[in-house]
Amino acid sequence: MLRAHQPAPRPRLPTEDGHVDGYWTGTNVDPWTFINARTTCNRAPVGALDAATCTGISGWAQDPDAPTRSISAHVSIGGPAGTAGVRSFAVQADRSRADLCATYGCAHGFSLPVPASFFDGRERQVYAYGIDASNGHNPLLAGAPKTLKCTPDQLPPTSRLVQRAVSAAAFTAWKFDSADVAALTDADLDALPEGSALPPVPTLVQEQGRDEVSVFEDGVLRPIAATSVFAANRFQTSAIARQTPGSLETALRAATARWR
């Protein structure tokens, strides 16, 4: 008895929307080339946590699937992200770094000032994660975790001025939170020079035609030192009051504003 030859099953192929509802019948195109051309693999971000010292936390992050886009990095101080009681801070990895230009593009560096509440002498582990541009996996960056230990006497000099928040509303208006509060002894606090009371709300001013933005308080202009300081203080460009050219020339000028 002769048994009829049964042809080998033909591979089923996905359509453009990913459903399998047809069979491969041609002979001119490799089916796996066809499949691979319609398959997208999301690659995880790359980067590194380079430093975690009392002068700042820094590193870089890039998504290889969006190489020219600046992505976010999340920094967790005190343990891995998601651990109870651990604070995480989002920072944009958009700073130019010459050492990255040739391989990854320049604008992928990040920097985060250490929040004042961590200057308490306790040792903590710092973790940093690259945030995928397509909501994929957010990996721990190379070099993490690093150890951070900062004491009250290591607070930045720009923080060594007491301006009392006159109310809880002022605390909120300046967009402070618990991470901005350093725990000092009464003696350490009394040793700091005291400035004027913190205004109920920040007043930001800028003369038309000039790049400089200042905080105006008690008749004194305090120029904001850099865009990073503007961002660190959580100021909003929508809050800047535009002034006519020359209108601020007679105002008293103080040292550049840094705060956080």
Q: Domains (ranges, CATH) in the chain? A: 9-39 (no CATH), 46-153 (2.60.40), 157-253 (no CATH)
Q: Which of the residue ranges 33-42, 114-123, 142-151, 173-182 would you say has the lowest mean pLDDT?
A: 33-42
**Distance (Å) of CA 178 to CA 31, 87, 118, 175, 183:** 58, 10, 11, 10, 10
Residue 207: CB partners within 8 Å, gap ≥ 6?
242, 243, 244, 245, 246, 247, 248
Does 219 or 245 have the greater pLDDT score? 245
pLDDT in tens, 20-65: 555 555 556 666 666 666 666 899 999 999 999 999 999 999 999 9
pLDDT, averaged across the chain: 83
Residue 117, pLDDT above cutoff 70: yes
pLDDT band at 252 (very low <50, low <70, confident <90, very high): low
Residue 75: CB partners within 8 Å, gap ≥ 6?
57, 88, 89, 91, 112, 126, 127, 128
